[in-house]
Amino acid sequence: MTERLVELRNVSKFFGRICALSGVNIRIGKGEVVGLVGDNGAGKSTLIKILAGVVEPTSGEILLRGRLAAGWSALRSRQAGIETVFQDRALAMQQSVVRNIFMGRELTGRFGWLKLGKEIREAEWLMREIGFTSSLLSPRSIVGQLSGGERQGVAMARAIYNQAELIILDEPTAALSLVETAKVLRFVHQVKASGRSVLFIGHNIHHVYDVADRFIVLDRGTVVLEADRATLPSADALVAFMEDVARPPTAMAQSVADAGANR
Ligand SMILES: Nc1ncnc2c1ncn2[C@@H]1O[C@H](COP(=O)(O)OP(=O)(O)OP(=O)(O)O)[C@@H](O)[C@H]1O
């Protein structure tokens, strides 16, 4: 097993009487890509918001490198190297790639002057690190003119600049074409190759399967499957498992009865 980076131990979250998470145990190791899947309302967003420190668990513990993390908050989460790329990616569309990467953490000199040359060089390095290959793209490109997959890459480059050790990607391939999805999956592979970890949340099981080393399936607030890639022969096996989980108990009982009758 890889070195443990972050763990949730017996975490539950209630919103009033609604139970969003119940006794969840998960761990994310250094340099691994974990795929988090589950139907609508399964608790995925709540889980990533807890990791990001923007939602407080009702009970349970968060551990960093095996040690209890006290006083968990958005600041502590970022200090621990956890960066979340939410679906809107929070990018300034009218601004350049370099301005987006350094937003709020600009490189300045002694008198507060912007070190644009240094930022450009650093942005070029980050773009290479994340796997941008197009020669048409530069740190000066305007983000609003980039494709959806490339924008996702800029958000990931910003996370790396912010010292991310774990990048949480909230449905990074939602509404993207095949070509754009392939770009995002390549960026994720690059992030892993650089030794960082990724928690990849996705509705498209095939995208998650393509990129993850390990899979966690949430269903109505509980972890119903945690499996290594080696134990899941294909994306279809994961889809079949999820279909079984989603099936209402009566339908399941009926299908068991049907199977018995056909024997
Ligand atoms: N702020 C909130 N107040 C009340 N209930 C909430 C809140 N946030 C989430 N919930 C409820 O908690 C449960 C889990 O929601 P969550 O958004 O975490 O699921 P999800 O897996 O991310 O779903 P989706 O894929 O649709 O985004 C749902 O029943 C949801 O209605």
State pLDDT tens for residues 29-54: 999 999 999 999 999 999 999 999 99
Q: How far apart are CA 191 and CA 159, in angstroms?
A: 10
Q: What angle do CA 186, 8, 229 make, to 5 degrees?
A: 40
Digit-coded pLDDT (tens) for 61-103 = 999 999 999 889 999 999 999 999 987 768 899 999 999 998 8
Residue of 8, 12, 18 to test ligand 1 pocket, by largest number of atoms within 8 Å of CB: 18
Q: What is the pLDDT of residue 240?
A: 87
**C-alpha neighbours within 13 Å on the C-beta side of residue 26:** 28
Q: Which two tokens stand for residue 61?
A: 């513990």
Alpha helices (H) in 163-224, listed in sequence order: 178-193, 205-211
Residues within a 6 A CB radius of ligand 1:
15, 18, 20, 38, 40-46
Q: How far apart are CA 185 and CA 111, in angstroms?
A: 41
Q: For residue 111, how far is its CA from the centre of ligand 1 (angstroms)? A: 47
Residue of 45, 55, 88, 199 to test ligand 1 pocket, by largest number of atoms within 8 Å of CB: 45
Total-model pTM: 0.87
Q: For residue 130, how far is its CA from the centre of ligand 1 (angstroms)? A: 31
Question: Quick check: 260 pLDDT over 60?
Answer: no
Digit-coded pLDDT (tens) for 107-159 = 776 666 777 788 889 888 888 888 887 777 889 999 999 988 899 999 999 88
- The domains found in the chain, sorted by start residue, are 4-90+164-261 (3.40.50.300)
Count other C-beta atoms under 10 Å from residue 236's C-beta: 12
Q: How far apart are CA 212 and CA 210, in angstroms?
A: 6
Q: For residue 220, how far is its CA from the centre of ligand 1 (angstroms)? A: 10
Nearest CA to ligand 1 atom 6: 15
ipTM: 0.96
Q: Which of 167, 224, 231 is nearest to 200 (CA)?
A: 167
SS3 176: coil
